[in-house]
Amino acid sequence: MALRLLKPTNDHRPRLWVRWFWNPLKHRRGGGVIVRRRTRLDVFPFNNFFVGSKSIIEDFSTINNGVGHVIIGERSIIGMSNVIIGPVTIGNDVMLAQHVVISGLNHGYEDVSVSPSQQKEIRKEVIISDRVWIGANCVVTAGVKIGNHCVVGAGSVVTKDLPDFSVAVGNPAKVIKRYNFESGRWERVGEHHGG
């Protein structure tokens, strides 16, 4: 009953009164945050939604915290037409290019007598650490952690954790470079050195 007061039946958007009156009181934004006018905020009061100072959410993006929190750090860029479905935590100084999908939500499919849309929701938090750059048209799946200062090449599908200071590409994404602090350069994975 209470859920119907917040959203119409068979709809995943909060009611207008929730968006206009309740959410501005419940959810905080840091100073200098820009949320473009054509962004779709499917944000509910029962899960957290926070945007850190000087971050930007570009037009045509959708943010949904209906099944888990969405936390965006400071000075981060959510590019045009991104879709972020919680639970998701995004660090500071993160760049998401265009058409990136990040979802902490999955549906069960095991029971073949029931549509996957009617089966149990599976929620696993996605964590994107500080100073990450995710290229256009990438997908980051539920439960993945992307380490500090990672780069994910355009069109990649990230299904497993990525270590700090790495570059990953492909479907599924694989690490192809790591930063070597001893040599002070990015090196291809498997690159051998004379010693």
Write out the two tokens for 36. Answer: 């473009």
Sign of CA dihedral 10, 61, 84, 73: negative
Q: Residue 36 and residue 60: Cα distance in Å, rounded?
A: 8
Q: Which are the catalytic amino acids?
A: 107
Which residue has 């355009």 as its token pair? 154
